[in-house]
Every structure is written in C-alpha cells, then in structure tokens.
Amino acid sequence: MARRSKNPAASSPPPAPRSVAHALRIAVAIVALGAAVGLGWHRTRDPARIWARTLERIHSDRFEQRFVRCFGGADAESLRRVEADIRAGRWRAPFQACTGPTLTETVIAPLDVITGLADPPGGIDAARARERISLDRLRGTLTQLERVTYGLDRSHPVPEATRDALATALEDVAVEVQNERRTLTDLVDAAESAARWW
C-alpha cells in the first residue's frame, strides 16, 4: 500500500506565477472604480446640484400638482385642451371643479416656487432673475383667469358672452407656462454649470 503524503500541497504542482502586468491591470481597475465611486458621491453632494434638485422638487410638489388638479396637466397642451372646450361652450372636467380655494392655490403656486429661489449658488443670478420674472408673469395671467371665472355658474354650459375672454385668459396662461418651463430648465442648467466639475 502506498503511503500518502500528509501535506497535500507538496503533492500538487505549484501554482503558475501571475504576471506583474496582470496584477497591475487589476490594481488600476480597482483605483479607477474607486475614483468613479468617489466622484459620483461628491457630485451628488455639490451645493449647486442640491439647490437645483430642491428647486425641481418644489416646482413639482407645489406647482405642477396644483396645475394637474385644476387643468388636468401642468403643460401648455393641457391648458389648450381646456381652452378648446371652453370655446365650444363645455367645461372640461378638472377645470369645472377648479373654483374657490383650489383656484386660489393654483394662482399662488408661482409664489411657492419663488420661495425656492432663495440662497442660490453663485454665478446664476441672471437665470434666477429670468425665472422670477417668468413666475411673476405667470401669476399675473393666473390672476386674470381667476377674475374672468369669478361668479360663473359651472353647472351650466359656458355662457357665450364670456367664452372668448375665458379662452383668451387660458391661452395667456398656456403661453406663460411654456415660458416658465423654459426658464426653469435654463436655471437648472445654469446651476449644474455652476457646480464643481467633480
């Protein structure tokens, strides 16, 4: 009977030596992965990027949701669909119920976004001023829409005498919503540009 060796490593062939180049490639890959993770971590914590994300969240929570509740959407196309129904003498479902406090909340929605413009990062003052002007203009058109709709009986078709004024007010709001969307995008882009590269 053959005697077995107590040391299994002694009986197996020695492992092939790894090349230095292979080890170097692994080390470079690990360093690159670590740098990418670190860069991603720092980019998410940059004050300018945090400010831009906060502004987008405020815009979504306090502005877009109120527009959806009142007009069925927060874009110009939604307002133009409401406008087309008004010209035809029909109240569109969400707009028909948008009276009193619901409409007032929509009118003041731009003011809530303006509060989010406080303490911006440096270098975006011009874009911030354009967004504020756009929000003020939008608030003005919403106030005009509120005046035109005041006292209308929404359980009956839209009175023919007020259709044109109401549709015009809705079109003015649609135009300003489009403009505000553009200036918000410009402002967020400016904040991203003002952020550190890393």
Please write the tens of the pLDDT for every residue from 1-57.
555 555 555 566 655 556 767 777 777 777 777 666 665 555 566 888 888 899 999
Residue 122 tokens read as 């440096």
Residue 17 tokens read as 């030596």
Please write the tens of the pLDDT for every residue from 177-195.
999 999 999 999 988 888 7
Domain ranges for the chain, please list them: 47-194
Burial class (CB in 10 A: 0-12, 13-18, 19+), 1: exposed
- The C-alpha R_g of the chain, in whole angstroms, comes to 30
- Distance in angstroms between the alpha carbons of the first and the last residue of the chain: 69
Residue type, 32: A
Q: Residue 75 gets which letter from DSSP?
A: S
> What global pTM score does this model have?
0.75
Residue 5 tokens read as 């060796």
